[in-house]
């Protein structure tokens, strides 16, 4: 027997370089996944902040609209104690100059928009009854968010109509 065989170790055909490459690949994969998860958590944080800000803005506008409804209800109650519809209209125009009033068969419809933010508004439509058999003074027809920008849905989109170029 020779002395050369005693000092050599057999790794079964797989060298140390292959194991090192697999470890480096695993470390790179884990690093990429951790960076991606960190970015996803940051994006979720930003989205949560925007959602919370919108919720605050919406409920602030909702509260202001309810205050206006309370004021209009007080005016309607005052008008029902001996005043006429024309008095209610005059009081509403004085109290809420931005409101739009319209006579309907049921009574007086009052519409106003309370801004939520620079893109959205809270549109409110209330009908105050001239006479209600159940004793209620008003009915809320609409209480919805609408776009604050002018409606651009009628503008053409600039889509090719199939004609040749001019």
pLDDT reported for residue 73: 84
- Model confidence pTM above 0.95: no
pLDDT reported for residue 101: 86
pLDDT reported for residue 28: 97
Token pair belonging to 42 = 């940051």
pLDDT in tens, the chain (166 residues): 455 555 555 555 566 788 899 999 999 999 999 999 999 999 999 999 999 999 999 999 999 999 988 988 888 777 666 555 666 777 777 878 888 888 888 888 889 999 998 889 999 999 887 766 677 788 889 999 988 776 556 666 677 777 776 5
Neighbours of 107 (CB within 10 A): 20
CA dist list (Å): 50 to 10, 45, 62, 64, 148: 62, 9, 18, 21, 18
């Amino acid at each position: 027997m020779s002395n050369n065989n005693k000092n050599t170790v057999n790794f079964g055909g797989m060298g140390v370089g292959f194991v090192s490459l697999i470890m480096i690949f695993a470390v790179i994969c884990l690093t990429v996944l951790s960076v991606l998860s960190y970015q996803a958590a940051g994006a979720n944080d930003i989205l949560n902040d925007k959602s919370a800000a919108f919720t605050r803005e919406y409920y602030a506008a909702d509260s202001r609209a309810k205050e206006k409804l309370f004021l209009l209800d007080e005016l309607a109650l005052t008008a029902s104690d001996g005043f006429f519809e024309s008095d209610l209209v005059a009081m509403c125009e004085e109290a809420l100059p931005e409101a739009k009033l319209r006579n309907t068969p049921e009574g007086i419809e009052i519409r106003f928009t309370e801004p939520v933010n620079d893109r959205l508004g809270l549109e409110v439509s209330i009908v105050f009854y001239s006479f209600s058999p159940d004793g209620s003074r008003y009915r809320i027809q609409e209480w919805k968010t609408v776009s604050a920008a002018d409606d651009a849905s009628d503008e053409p989109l600039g889509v090719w109509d199939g004609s040749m170029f001019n």
